[in-house]
């Protein structure tokens, strides 16, 4: 059991769209033997197996909407990569996926540096002290000076960095990467079919000049001296505590610097970590199984309508057909066909260990955040849902299909596609999302999966705030004053829908005993 736990590495690759997440994922799959063609990243065939374009809508729009899991063995390690949607309108999905990983690799475009999406995702990692490794990609292109880039990473991502590899020049003149961690040199061959050449070089001998030329050799020596002077020695514990991020340089497209990243990653990245439940902290090595649902996705197989709930195993051994307690419903369930994933392929498994992600067929039994145990009543803590950025009234566009519409809305909200608020004044339903695209996804899925039609009507809102107070009188007074703007979320909690930043500020000033929260636990 300990051995199974210790060999697992469950992580996500996160990046701003276009930084190279797909290319990097594909290279990792290549090393894991999941795909066979070296370097042919742009072949559609590989793209199909490596990415997870499960939903129709995703194919139509060319956006990775759903989050999938890819598993493979590498040396003695079992790697679970949780894929995240590339489009920022689905950021909420990515936030939730980050609750199920033990560490993260962030891909940054060497020319563009830190971009908005990277910054936001890093905030979520920081909230959970998730260990982070940074891969600076596209070194085969002209980009920023690596030292400037390190400063930018530190300032923008608010984390200490420590380079573990160092680029020798870049763009047209990119010669390779010096692996600081292993102290050897990787020479770059701009050829996608060839894996890089690794050379053992004493960088203080003139062997270095022979390989990279005098100017670059001199520069490398000075750079390395500077690195040692400026950055403290790499400390694995600091990385595990989420305080320091080791940085690697390379080119995912050319499969350069990726193996170095992977080899170091498996050595230093954490195996499954303890998970916090409301009642207690759960250790992975505990004998009894426990896990939580962090993602529900529909239509993995377009021929079947049922959903798949993704469960992260937190402790013990999950066994097929064993009875497990669905804590929220107080029901015992048995799973006869739990699955593991490899993009579109999935196969039934007999057992799973902490760190693994299992797919459980679901017909509306699960909600995001649900806990499964061997009988103990406990609740894993989810990531809070954030106040949506966009709001619309959802209206029924086909009165004959009211039932279908309501069922569809309920299930899509269970999946965490968006958030639903019911205005207490007029009883109208308001859907809140983080991006415009989600409204389109909801409309499309209601039509295609539930045979229901909806219509959107504008509502001008700024933020949804969950409110609470120790002063019941003031709370009542507030609700009375703002009765047109009071809503309930799906858990029946009071939510104040502020229509402008100004109104919110005034409310905060007038009602000082009321707490306005911009996030809520699931
Ligand atoms: P994403 O999943 O993070 O969105 O990024 P993806 O890997 O799809 O890469 C985005 C673009 O960047 C792709 O180009 C890809 O070929 C390119 N790219 C990725 N890694 C590298 C690299 O190391 N060096 C260089 N020069 N380019 C890289 P595209 O134009 O969108 O696609 P295509 O026209 O190449 O098919």
What is the spatial distance between Cα 498 and Cα 388, in angstroms, rounded to a whole number? 12
Q: What is the pLDDT of residue 314?
A: 97
Contact between residue 12 and residue 114 where contact means Cβ atoms under 8 Å apart = no
Q: Residue 119 has which token pair?
A: 């910054």
Percent of the chain with pLDDT strictly greater than 70: 87
What's the N-to-C CA distance of the chain in angstroms? 31
Q: Decide: 138 in ligand 1 pocket, CB within 6 A.
A: yes
359 is an annotated ligand-binding site residue: no
Q: What is the pLDDT of residue 306?
A: 66
Q: Residue 356 has which token pair?
A: 């693994």
CATH 3.30.70.3280 residue spans of the chain: 390-517
Architecture in CATH for domain 275-373: 3-Layer(aba) Sandwich (3.40)
Read off the pLDDT band of 430 (50, 70, 90): very high
Residues composing the chain: 522
| Average pLDDT of the chain to the nearest whole number | 85
> pLDDT digits over 119-149, tens only?
888 988 988 899 999 999 999 999 999 999 9
> pLDDT digits over 192-247, tens only?
555 556 777 788 888 888 888 899 999 999 999 999 999 999 999 999 999 999 99
* Three-state SS at 58: helix
* Three-state SS at 171: helix
Q: Quick check: 351 pLDDT over 80? A: yes
Contact between residue 383 and residue 124 where contact means Cβ atoms under 8 Å apart = yes
Q: What is the pLDDT of residue 300?
A: 47
Q: What is the CA radius of gyration of the chain?
A: 25
Average pLDDT over residues 98-107: 94
Q: Decide: 514 in ligand 1 pocket, CB within 6 A.
A: no
Contacts of 282 (CB under 8 A, 6+ apart): 274, 275, 276, 290, 314, 315, 378, 380
Average pLDDT over residues 460-475: 93
What is the spatial distance between Cα 82 and Cα 60, in angstroms, rounded to a whole number? 22
Distances (CA, A) of 212 to 9, 139, 164, 175, 218: 35, 16, 19, 7, 10
Q: Decide: 20 in ligand 1 pocket, CB within 6 A.
A: yes
Q: What fold, for 390-517?
A: Alpha-Beta Plaits (3.30.70)
Q: What is the pTM of this model?
A: 0.83
Q: What is the pLDDT of residue 194?
A: 53
CATH 3.40.50.300 residue spans of the chain: 2-71+83-268, 275-373
Q: What is the pLDDT of residue 145?
A: 94
Q: Where are the alpha helices (DSSP H) in 451-500?
A: 472-481
Nearest to 506 by CA among 445, 453, 455, 462: 462
Q: What is the pLDDT of residue 234?
A: 93
> pLDDT digits over 35-59, tens only?
555 444 443 333 444 444 445 555 4
> For residue 250, how far is its CA from the centre of ligand 1 (angstroms)?
13
Read off the pLDDT band of 89 (50, 70, 90): low
User: According to the per-residue pLDDT averaged within each range, which of 19-28, 294-303, 507-516 is highest?
Assistant: 507-516
What is the spatial distance between Cα 110 and Cα 484, in angstroms, rounded to a whole number? 49
Average pLDDT over residues 334-347: 75
Backbone φ and ψ of 461, nearest 5° = -130, 155
Q: What is the pLDDT of residue 500?
A: 93
Q: What is the pLDDT of residue 334?
A: 95
Contact between residue 155 and residue 146 where contact means Cβ atoms under 8 Å apart = no
Average pLDDT over residues 185-189: 76
What is the spatial distance between Cα 222 and Cα 227, in angstroms, rounded to a whole number? 9
What is the spatial distance between Cα 208 and Cα 168, in angstroms, rounded to a whole number? 11
Mutate to test the pocket of ligand 1, among 110, 253, 257, 261 (most ligand atoms within 8 A of CB): 253
Read off the pLDDT band of 62 (50, 70, 90): very low
> pLDDT digits over 245-304, tens only?
999 999 998 888 888 899 999 999 999 999 999 999 999 999 999 999 998 876 545 555
Average pLDDT over residues 332-350: 79
> For residue 143, how far is its CA from the centre of ligand 1 (angstroms)?
15
Q: Quick check: 401 pLDDT over 80? A: yes
Average pLDDT over residues 380-401: 86
Q: What is the pLDDT of residue 28?
A: 87
Contacts of 90 (CB under 8 A, 6+ apart): 63, 65, 434, 435, 437, 438
> For residue 253, how far is its CA from the centre of ligand 1 (angstroms)?
7
Mutate to test the pocket of ligand 1, among 20, 116, 189 (most ligand atoms within 8 A of CB): 20
Average pLDDT over residues 162-171: 92
Read off the pLDDT band of 361 (50, 70, 90): confident
Q: What is the pLDDT of residue 298?
A: 65
Percent of the chain with pLDDT strictly greater than 90: 55
CATH number of 2-71+83-268: 3.40.50.300
> For residue 138, how far is its CA from the centre of ligand 1 (angstroms)?
8
Q: Quick check: 164 pLDDT over 70? A: yes
Residue 520 or 369, more confident: 369
Q: Decide: 15 in ligand 1 pocket, CB within 6 A.
A: yes
């Amino acid at each position: 059991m300990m051995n199974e736990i210790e060999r697992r590495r469950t992580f996500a690759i996160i990046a701003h769209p276009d930084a190279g997440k797909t290319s990097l994922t594909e290279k990792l799959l290549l090393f894991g033997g999941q795909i066979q063609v070296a370097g042919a990243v742009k072949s559609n065939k590989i793209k199909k197996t490596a990415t997870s374009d499960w939903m129709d809508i995703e194919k139509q729009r060319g956006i990775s909407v759903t989050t999938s899991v890819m598993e493979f063995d590498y040396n003695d390690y079992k790697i679970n990569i949780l894929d995240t949607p590339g489009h920022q309108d689905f950021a909420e999905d990515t936030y939730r996926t980050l609750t199920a990983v033990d560490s993260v690799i962030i891909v940054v475009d060497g020319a563009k540096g830190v971009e908005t999406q990277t910054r936001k995702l890093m905030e979520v990692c920081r909230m959970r002290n998730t260990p982070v490794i940074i891969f600076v990609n596209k070194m085969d292109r002209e980009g920023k000076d690596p030292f400037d880039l390190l400063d930018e990473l530190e300032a923008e991502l608010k984390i200490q960095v420590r380079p573990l590899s160092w680029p020798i020049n870049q763009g047209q003149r990119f010669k390779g990467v010096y692996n600081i961690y292993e102290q050897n040199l990787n020479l770059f061959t701009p050829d996608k079919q060839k894996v890089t050449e690794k050379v053992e070089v004493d960088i203080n001998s003139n062997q270095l000049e022979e390989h990279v030329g005098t100017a670059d050799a001199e520069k490398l020596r000075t750079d390395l001296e500077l690195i040692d002077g400026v950055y403290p020695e790499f400390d694995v514990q600091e990385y595990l505590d989420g305080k320091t991020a080791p940085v690697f340089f390379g080119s995912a497209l050319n499969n350069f610097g990726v193996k170095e990243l992977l080899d170091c990653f498996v050595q230093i990245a954490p195996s499954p970590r303890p998970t916090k439940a409301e009642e207690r902290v759960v250790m992975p090595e505990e004998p009894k199984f426990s896990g939580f649902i962090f993602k529900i996705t529909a239509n993995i197989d377009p021929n079947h309508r049922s959903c798949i709930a993704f469960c992260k195993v937190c402790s013990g051994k999950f066994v097929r057909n064993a009875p497990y307690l669905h804590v929220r419903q107080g029901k015992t369930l048995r799973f006869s066909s739990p699955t593991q994933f490899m993009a579109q392929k999935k196969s039934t498994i007999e057992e799973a260990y902490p760190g693994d992600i299992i797919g459980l067929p679901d017909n509306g039994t699960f909600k995001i955040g649900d806990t499964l145990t061997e009988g103990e009543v406990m609740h894993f803590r989810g990531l809070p849902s954030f106040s949506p950025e966009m709001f619309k009234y959802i209206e029924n566009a086909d009165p004959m299909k009211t039932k279908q519409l309501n069922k569809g809305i309920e299930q899509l909200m269970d999946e965490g596609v968006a958030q639903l608020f019911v205005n207490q004044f007029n009883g109208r339903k308001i859907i809140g999302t983080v991006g415009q695209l989600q409204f389109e996804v909801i409309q499309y899925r209601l039509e295609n999966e539930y045979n229901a039609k909806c219509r959107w009507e504008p509502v001008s809102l700024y933020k949804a705030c969950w409110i609470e107070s120790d002063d019941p009188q003031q709370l009542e007074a507030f609700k009375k004053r703002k009765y047109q703007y009071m809503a309930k979320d799906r858990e029946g909690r009071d939510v104040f829908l502020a229509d402008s930043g100004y109104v919110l500020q005034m409310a905060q000033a007038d009602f000082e005993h009321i707490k306005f929260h911009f996030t809520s636990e699931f």
